[in-house]
Structure 1
């Protein structure tokens, strides 16, 4: 304890220059090492670095990840999703919403603290700011200092780096929608289309504004998730929370003070507030600005180590746990099981859709006017409009056959194989002619089968009807 008196004194001296965040001033959070700081960095990099770098990966001659707006396709490695499979996107959206609800109900705004784009980029921008302008006290002093050469150099350097990061972010987002190397070539030669320049300017400006200038104000006042998460949490939701039973009454730690025996473990050092990215004082209870990042836990634990007190004065816990109320296991909550069932059904639906995607899709529309034509020899003929999509990455030759239908029926219009370019569709007309003597019903089921020559796995079926006069 004696050897840590100097460290505690330094904390109180630092506190003298720390303003409480009330929203009108920028928060200059202190960066402190710890378990949750490392975990946060790991999760942020683990999510966003692959998303930034994946578009540069080539796969089978094209970009591994590409949202191709021009051709209404999404390419993900060997997977290609088209508009007719939009139902899978709807299931993904449903599953994502339910998952977010479940996570928030269990662990509050853990998405905000460990994965969110805004909090990740704010963390990056404030790291840059700390490298250029120094510690929080130095940054506040620089902000209030008169303009001179040193202040101009530091401010210009910081904002230039911020702008560079914002520009790289905009480029990294844009290449999800166009070929990455083609985009860079056009950008460097100033040949981007107007829409490309507009998107680049908007994303660059938005990143610079929200992550650099507004930063914690987004989490405090503008983020809608911060609002509706309050209805998702309950008394058993786990979040960073101050154990007031241990901490109160709080007070300064002074050597030889006789009141220390009556004092709680909180020494009022404000380290938990100083490290908070949004300037929240967690000791005042859970607040709208708290993003559940756990940095206050790292700060408090480091202080508890210095004063030889047990860790956990601030910890991940529920309000019911802190208040001594009964705590039930989450799996006993019926709402959790309902959400889990919806999430599982959504995932199974997407998996089914992905595993049952056909290499070709076939749509057949019978001619409705007229339903049939009686030929000069008495035979009945139906007309069908075919739309065939080749989803593979190679050109194919397709043969058309039928299953069922009328005895001795004849297919006209598909005697020769039909050429279908890769990732393109073709339309063509097929006639089915059947002798009137073999027709037993006014409506006869018929199935068309298309198959690639040389590769029977590339095939599709479509069931429809053969129409004839009423008997």
Structure 2
């Protein structure tokens, strides 16, 4: 929050109410890590939809067909319990990393941070350095200013369109999406979502930037609940840095009563959320390390030891022995391992076959001309695998007429990812029925993979 005192009244203004943040470009050790990691993540994001497996797109979340393909496994809406498990693993993994290393997710791997810094990089190349961008904003409109603004926003829109199209290729086969784009044959629905995500990317990374992290992302609000005295975070060493103030490079700052901080303000100028790390821990900080690289560069110029601003912990700042592993960290880590193991076991035991049994609702039973009692059923067999499969259908717990026990009553072929309805009529000699309702079971078994078996129970009615 920003506080202004006017006429003995305290006026509270929202953060960044009337000023823009002009991020200064900074190089350094942590920025190289972010740059390489950012390129790796972006290239992975772009490349995944083009990976092929068995002649199909390896990763495809086909919402229209309700098929979610991940290499050799296809998930269906019936498998959405897996989604809950993935969210739980992601949550506890985030808690574990945050308790240990602070907000490194926000600073190094969050798409909002990666795309925002990419947009700022474009802005820097077109409009110039920080002071040049500030001067350009204040300058009256001219041909030069118009050209730079048009160039910048055009590149931003192209980047946003490419991002949106890539994102949509996770839900629509990439070959179809791009071929239809080239032929201008996108449907209205696809066009809507591409335009929607284009402007979301353009707005978030180009205009809102740090406001997304501060106002829209809930993570910044509850992160402090996971921090402890041993959590690594970006912090300023007050004991060493204060009192801050400018000085000449060769001056003895100790004799002047000054600390190591030269008050160059670079840590503020490079901060993508516009905070001053010297004011202590703030929820806006995303632990990106830009201020660390900027401060280390200044310390090197003055021949001071680096690390005035660094990745540290409260224990280290107090000159106490850190305890990197504690009960809370161990609990989060253990929960992650257990959930991952449970998900792996569930996926390993998952049967790529789904079946249901529906009775004929028009008649409970009927007696044919031979005096046999007949019941009619409809089996719905869903082949959840990625290959066509043959299935044998057996019946248990009842002796069928003209059917030897243990032999299939029918064999059907179901295409990959398809559901097939199989009508069946069971005939039973009334002398073999001891009661009006007999519990029976349909067994559906894969011919090629006998371990793929589904058992569905139902009832056989008689007079």
Instruction: Quickly name the TM-score band, shorter chain normalised.
Output: 0.7 to 0.9
CA displacement at 1:374 relative to structure 2 = 6.5
Aligned equivalent of 1:387: 380
- Structure 1, residues 198-224: CA drift from partner, whole Å, max 9, x if none? 112211112111111221222233322
Aligned equivalent of 1:4: none
1:398 matched to 2:391? The reply is: yes
TM-score w.r.t. structure 1 length? 0.85
Distance 1:258 1:422, change over 3 A: closer
CA displacement at 1:420 relative to structure 2 = 1.9
CA displacement at 1:169 relative to structure 2 = 1.0
Identify which range, 308-317 or 184-193, moves more after superposition.
184-193
CA displacement at 1:111 relative to structure 2 = 1.1
1:236 matched to 2:230? The reply is: yes
Q: 1:270 aligns with which of 261, 265, 290?
A: 265
CA displacement at 1:359 relative to structure 2 = 3.5
- Structure 1, residues 18-40: CA drift from partner, whole Å, max 9, x if none? xxx95532222222221110111
1:94 matched to 2:88? The reply is: yes
Aligned equivalent of 1:40: 34
Aligned equivalent of 2:190: 196
Q: Which has the higher helix share?
A: 1
Aligned equivalent of 1:14: none
SS at match of 1:311: coil
CA distance in structure 2 between the aligned counterparts of 1:178 and 1:205, rounded to whole angstroms: 20
Aligned equivalent of 2:350: 357
CA distance in structure 2 between the aligned counterparts of 1:233 and 1:296, rounded to whole angstroms: 20
Matches of residues 55-94 of structure 1 in structure 2 within 5 Å? 55-94=49-88
Aligned equivalent of 2:443: 449
CA distance in structure 1 between the aligned counterparts of 2:301 and 2:253, rounded to whole angstroms: 19
CA displacement at 1:83 relative to structure 2 = 0.7
Report if aligned partners of 1:411, 1:430 keep a CA contact under 8 Å in 2: no
Matches of residues 297-308 of structure 1 in structure 2 within 5 Å? 297-308=292-303
CA distance in structure 1 between the aligned counterparts of 2:238 and 2:17, rounded to whole angstroms: 25
Aligned equivalent of 2:286: 291
Aligned equivalent of 1:310: 305
Q: 1:220 aligns with which of 214, 220, 233?
A: 214
CA distance in structure 2 between the aligned counterparts of 1:467 and 1:456, rounded to whole angstroms: 29
Matches of residues 321-332 of structure 1 in structure 2 within 5 Å? 321-324=316-319, 327-330=322-325, 332=326
Distance 1:236 1:452, change over 3 A: closer
CA distance in structure 1 between the aligned counterparts of 2:377 and 2:318, rounded to whole angstroms: 72
Instruction: Count the aligned residue pairs.
Output: 446
CA distance in structure 2 between the aligned counterparts of 1:81 and 1:324, rounded to whole angstroms: 52
Distance 1:384 1:326, change over 3 A: farther
Distance 1:419 1:256, change over 3 A: closer
Report if aligned partners of 1:386, 1:427 keep a CA contact under 8 Å in 2: yes
CA displacement at 1:135 relative to structure 2 = 1.2
Distance 1:35 1:411, change over 3 A: farther
Distance 1:121 1:259, change over 3 A: closer
CA displacement at 1:114 relative to structure 2 = 0.7
Identify which range, 293-302 or 247-256, moves more after superposition.
247-256
CA distance in structure 2 between the aligned counterparts of 1:227 and 1:411, rounded to whole angstroms: 68
Runs of at least 5 residues in structure 2 that lack an aligned partner in the other structure:
1-14
Matches of residues 84-123 of structure 1 in structure 2 within 5 Å? 84-123=78-117
Identify which range, 151-160 or 56-65, moves more after superposition.
56-65
- RMSD, aligned CA: 2.9
Runs of at least 5 residues in structure 1 that lack an aligned partner in the other structure:
1-20
Aligned equivalent of 1:183: 177
Distance 1:375 1:442, change over 3 A: same
SS at match of 1:417: strand
Aligned equivalent of 1:13: none
CA distance in structure 1 between the aligned counterparts of 2:147 and 2:299, rounded to whole angstroms: 39
CA distance in structure 1 between the aligned counterparts of 2:338 and 2:205, rounded to whole angstroms: 37
